[in-house]
Structure 1
Amino acid sequence: MGTEAPVDQHNHYSNHVDHRTEEEKAIDAWLPITSSRNAKWWYSAFHNVTAMVGAGVLGLPYAMSNLGWGPGVTVLVISWIVTLYTLWQMVEMHEMVPGKRFDRYHELGQHAFGEKLGLWIVVPQQLIVEVGVDIVYMVTGGKSLKKFHDLVCQDCKEIKLTYFIMIFASAHFVLSHFPNFNSISGVSLAAAVMSLSYSTIAWGASVDKGVQPDVQYGYKSKSTAGTVLNFFAALGDVAFAYAGHNVVLEIQATIPSTPEKPSKKPMWRGVLVAYIIVALCYFPVALIGYWMYGNSVEDNILISLNKPVWLIAMANMFVVVHVIGSYQIYAMPVFDMIETALVKKLRFRPTWYLRFITRNIYVALTMFVAITFPFFGGLLSFFGGFAFAPTTYFLPCIMWLAIYKPKKFGLSWFTNWICIVLGVILMVVAPIGGLRQIIVQAKTYKFYS
């Protein structure tokens, strides 16, 4: 598996010579991804947990209801194994050229596919994922705040979801001004703890409630077409749940690295810890939630659980804290792209007010889109298939084949091609199901209601 990377002749960076000008060094010291490189391995663990265990975990029982027991368990397990493998590849590829670090996903893409093509392949997909996740998290944060309010104050006047999304967004108008990944490590740690907490509450409360009296495990849709499309959408929900690859190189870029102690060792340790926590969150929630509620489970398991009121209210508040952290983790690479384009391409000066204006505009835009289209379930599957499948399931494998060129029909070659085929199937079928869900939900939806 770990074949030696061919050293690109153009990248004859030695480990000691820095070819950047003073101005380039100053800009790199200002940009969010490259400004701070003193992270510890456990930073990587909780950043990865925060990036991975998102709102997607709460939709897993619903995904199981559309997949059924056999296919559902298979899809969950295969996804966990495949995405761990592709994540290992990315960690390995971060420093495969001696003396150079691929700090951003698109830089690795450019090394694999060429300067221009690499950008066009990676950047649009990465932006769809990161901006898409931030929009979905705006919706999730708003919905969870609304659920908390409705549970705690049952006699209060009804407040529109729109206002709760605005309240959730207000936190980001402040938090978005942290300069880099390391500066949000406290927020990220809190978010990682919360994800474990609300996942535990979700399956714990389900066990406490017990199997519902009239539980059914058959497919909900009466027509074959409906069943198939729901199945496709559920594949997208699962893909959405494994989305951490889009920020993994950016997280690794914050870890110090020397030829004797490369960053991949502490990073991989953090990733393994994160993946164990991911398994502890995903599998119990998905399997127990489906076991207790069958096909009547909601697209967010916490909505199915109404009692005990204090516990479910607390779980919803945990979700809010967690998606605040997740939003920031996914926003940071976007801020980096915007600021890099403005400073390096358009020659703006790297100032605090440039950062202040661009980041506030970004938060405002994601808030506006979230308020306009709050179809939580459909958005998950649509984005899940459309952009998450490539960046998570098969793009790392294509890069691996392009760069390392493993022996044809060898183990590494086969493994990568299996992942590519599975990922492409997922990319094609999941958005079809997701789009149908959005259409079905949009029929009854009134804008800004």
Structure 2
Amino acid sequence: MAIGREQGKAAYLEEAGAFEISASRRDDLDDDGRAKRTGNFVTASAHIITAVIGSGVLSLAWAIAQLGWVAGPAVLAAFSLITWFCSSLLADCYRSPDPVHGKRNYSYMSAVKANLGGVKFKLCGLAQYVNLVGVTIGYTITTAISMAAVKRSNCFHRHGHRAACKVSNTTYMIAYACIQIVLSQIPNFHKLSWLSLVAAVMSFAYSSIGLGLAIAKIAEGSNAKTSLTGVTVGVDVTGTEKVWRTFQALGDIAFAYSFSNVLIEIQDTLKSSPPENKVMKKATFVGVTTTTIFYMLCGVLGYAAFGNDAPGNFLTGFGFYDPFWLVDIGNIFIAIHLIGAYQVFCQPIFQFVEDLTQSRWPDNSFVTSEHIIKLPMLGDYPFSFFRLVWRTSYVIVTAVVAMIFPFFNDFLGLIGALAFWPLTVFFPVEMYIKQADIKRWSKTWIWLQILSMTCLMISIAAACGSIQGLIHALAGYKPFKS
């Protein structure tokens, strides 16, 4: 009996010790057993600004040139309101069925699965990941163009504005891919706050430079030709070109506001108190408002500076030549920003593939094992051979595609068109209707459906315009040439 009592006591102490260890670990865990989130309003706003203010701002002067003084600013304002409204609906779908106390959805797809399920879940996955891949390819193109523009700017400064100064983007795409291979080893979104903060500062910086250069050009007495309806049929373009360019401009503006596809992932970085949906709605309002102010200024003043001849990218299209050093700084800031933005958009892809492979091959050590490496100044770092191979392969593939199709405006317009309706409007609206239990044919249901169908028509038109632009750009194009 004494032996039994001693064994029982030992078992009790062992269990109590295990409980104490478990309790101590709970300080580092959330209520669902995952790592404790540390994000807040500031970090979420930085993630949003990083995701929204991207290469899209560079094409807005061209977009407004196609639409004119009336439709251009009106379309920008309309897209900002739609994005903010639908993002607010999406923020309430982070937890389900209750937006405050429900179960967490860790990704956009899991939110759709929890609220809609079935075929819509699969369609969402297709739309989201095709868009995310497209964005990462677009950012590779944009960064390479910006870095090549630095070399061209210095060439123009030395040899004059009429010099050929041909530069291949391929070398810069390879360099960008090498940087992304290293950064892609960052395990997840929770480790990206510092990168997003740096990228957000860069986005403000180059937008401000472009804005300042446009103001200076106007102050010098720009003789740019502008009009209420944009480029003039019969003078600047044919009637058919006017239609296609108008559609493509809609796609470029839609791309400039694309961040809904990573909204849930950003929200998943927020601390549970105060409620994530409330913090995310505030961060979304600040992010969208801030970017809209910048977009209006850059687009409107860019159009005023260049008129109907506005370049597709107003920092790399050489609407500005001098001061060449300031143009160089602006393009360097673009490159730094898009290095961070690339990671914000590719992390959901990485996480999806890694979760899928681990669930299918849970006993495969190559897929599941991690090794802790001590790095100077960074401390313990979780290293995975599978993550190294898979993420490196992804970066290489996107870089190769970017080398084959390096068309800035057309590619951005197509990405924006494909993503805008399904990810920014349709799924948030459908999830809100389901979660809020809005009755079919009620007033709220009807106007939400009108909003969704209108945005669908805009997306189709924008996609058609961008595809036509790509076909035109591909005529006579030779890949991997200057």
Closer, same or farther in 2 for the Cα pair 1:206/1:214, shift >3 Å? Answer: closer
Aligned to 2:352: 337
**Cα shift at 1:398:** 2.0
Select which of 201, 205, 216 maps to 2:213. Answer: 205
Select which of 219, 236, 252 maps to 1:237. Answer: 252
Aligned to 1:5: none
2:333, 2:476 → 1: CA distance? 30
Aligned to 2:231: 219
Structure 1 counterpart SS, 2:192:
helix
1:346, 1:291 → 2: CA distance? 58
Aligned to 1:66: 66
Instruction: Judge which range, 301-310 or 399-408, deviates more.
Output: 399-408
Instruction: Judge which range, 304-313 or 321-330, deviates more.
Output: 304-313
**Cα shift at 1:212:** 2.6
Select which of 170, 176, 186 maps to 2:184. Answer: 176
Aligned to 1:292: 305
1:76-95 deviations in whole A, cap 9, x for unaligned?
A: 11110011000101111112
Select which of 390, 393, 397 maps to 1:365. Answer: 397
Structure 2 counterpart SS, 1:374:
coil
**Cα shift at 1:103:** 1.5
Aligned to 2:422: 390
2:120, 2:303 → 1: CA distance? 41
Closer, same or farther in 2 for the Cα pair 1:374/1:342, shift >3 Å? Answer: same
Amino-acid identity (%) = 29
1:54-94 deviations in whole A, cap 9, x for unaligned?
A: 10011111111111221212111111001100010111111
2:459, 2:310 → 1: CA distance? 25
Structure with larger Rg: 2
Aligned to 1:196: 204
2:113 paired with 1:110: yes
Asked if 1 retains the 8 angstrom alpha-carbon contact of 2:224 and 2:305, the reply is: no
Aligned to 2:151: 149
Asked if 1 retains the 8 angstrom alpha-carbon contact of 2:94 and 2:105, the reply is: yes
- Cα RMSD of the aligned pairs, angstroms, is 2.0
Closer, same or farther in 2 for the Cα pair 1:113/1:72, shift >3 Å? Answer: same
| Aligned-partner residue type, residue 260 of structure 2 | H
**Cα shift at 1:130:** 0.7
Aligned to 1:25: none
1:306, 1:224 → 2: CA distance? 32
1:80, 1:327 → 2: CA distance? 22
Aligned to 1:9: none
Aligned to 1:305: 320
2:467, 2:287 → 1: CA distance? 31
TM-score, structure 2 normalization: 0.82
Instruction: Judge which range, 261-270 or 278-287, deviates more.
Output: 261-270
**Cα shift at 1:410:** 5.3
1:264, 1:400 → 2: CA distance? 13
Aligned to 1:422: 454
2:425, 2:333 → 1: CA distance? 29
2:169 paired with 1:161: yes
1:319, 1:36 → 2: CA distance? 33
2:197, 2:86 → 1: CA distance? 24
Asked if 2 retains the 8 angstrom alpha-carbon contact of 1:127 and 1:334, the reply is: yes
Structure 2 counterpart SS, 1:93:
coil
Aligned to 2:17: none
Gaps of 5+ in 1: 1-21, 23-28
2:211, 2:337 → 1: CA distance? 17
Gaps of 5+ in 2: 1-21, 23-28, 160-164, 370-383
Aligned to 1:446: 478
1:82, 1:159 → 2: CA distance? 40
1:394, 1:62 → 2: CA distance? 28
Aligned to 1:43: 43
Select which of 344, 350, 368 maps to 1:350. Answer: 368
Aligned length: 415
**Aligned ranges 1:8-47 → 2 under 5 Å:** 35=35, 37-47=37-47
